[in-house]
Amino acid sequence: MTRFRITCLALGLIALGGTVASAGGSGGSGDAVELPSPELGVDVPLHQALQERRSVRRYQDRPLTLAEVGQLLWAAQGVTDSTTGYRTAPSAGATFPLEVYLVSGDVEGLAPGLYRYVPNNHTLRLRKDSDLLAGLHASGLQQESLRAAPAVLVISAVHSRTARRYGARAERYVAMEAGHASQNIYLQAAALGLGTVAIGAFDDAGVAGVLSLPGNEQPLYLMPVGAR
C-alpha cells in the first residue's frame, strides 16, 4: 500500500480573511493578499484522493474559505523548495510558463475580482476588483459549472518563457505542464472535500478579454471550484 500521503488543512484551524498590504514587491501591480500558510493538518492518503478525484460540475451553495483557495493555488503552482524555486508541479527546464489566477465570486475575506497567484511568496495580487464570473460563464460557452461556482481558477501560459529554450517543442511542454497543474488541483480538491472540473472548451479571445490578459498570455484551463 502506498505510503505517500496528501495533506490537507484542518479547516477552521487557519484564520479566515486575508491581510491586504500595500502594492509593490516582485509580484506585479495591485494590492497584495497574504494567503494562509499551506500548512497542513489532516492527512488524506494519496490513493484515496486519486480514487475520489472526479469532475464535479455542481457545488454546494456556500462560500469558499481563503484557506481552501490558498491550498488549491499552492497545489497548482506553490513553491516547495525556496532555494531553487521549484514547485509542486514539474516544469520543462524550470522555465515556469504557467500563471494561475483566482476569479473570486464568493470567497470569505476576499472581494469579488481577479487575483494573480504569486508562487514565490504565496500571495494574491489584485488585478481587477469587479465580479467577472458572469463574463467567464459567457466566454465559457455558458457551461453550468461556471455559473454555479463560488470561484474559478484559471491556468494560463506565457509560451515564450519555454520557447526561448525549447523552440517549437515548447508547445507540447506547456500543454503538459497545464495538465500537471490541473491534476494537482483536482487531487487537492478531492482531499479537501471540494469539487472541480478542468474546462478546456471556451472562447479563447473572450476569456482573455474578460481577464484582460497580456497579449503574450494564453488561457488554457478554467477550473470552477466549490464544495462538493
**Under the rule (CB under 6 A), what is the footprint of ligand FMN?**
54-55, 57, 143, 145, 197-201
Chain residue at closest Cβ approach to ligand FMN: 200
Residue whose C-alpha cell reads 484582460 in the numeric block = 212
Least distance from ligand FMN to the Cβ atom of residue 179, Å = 7
Measured from the CB atom, is 90 or 200 closer to ligand FMN?
200
Beta carbons of 219 and 204 less than 8 angstroms apart: yes
Measured from the CB atom, is 33 or 223 closer to ligand FMN?
223
Contact partners, residue 95, CB within 8 Å, separation at least 6: 161, 162, 164, 165, 166
Distance, in Å, from the CA atom of 85 to the CA atom of 3, rounded to the nearest integer, reads 26
Measured from the CB atom, is 7 or 143 closer to ligand FMN?
143
Cα distances from 197 to residues 10, 11, 84, in angstroms, run 23, 22, 31
Beta carbons of 219 and 154 less than 8 angstroms apart: yes
**Distance, first Cα to last Cα, the chain:** 27
Least distance from ligand FMN to the Cβ atom of residue 187, Å = 12
Distance, in Å, from the CA atom of 210 to the CA atom of 59, rounded to the nearest integer, reads 23
Measured from the CB atom, is 7 or 183 closer to ligand FMN?
183
Least distance from ligand FMN to the Cβ atom of residue 140, Å = 8
Measured from the CB atom, is 55 or 80 closer to ligand FMN?
55
Least distance from ligand FMN to the Cβ atom of residue 148, Å = 12
Measured from the CB atom, is 53 or 128 closer to ligand FMN?
53
Least distance from ligand FMN to the Cβ atom of residue 219, Å = 12
Least distance from ligand FMN to the Cβ atom of residue 57, Å = 6
Show the DSSP H helices in the chain as ranges: 46-52, 66-77, 133-139, 144-148, 159-166, 170-192, 204-211
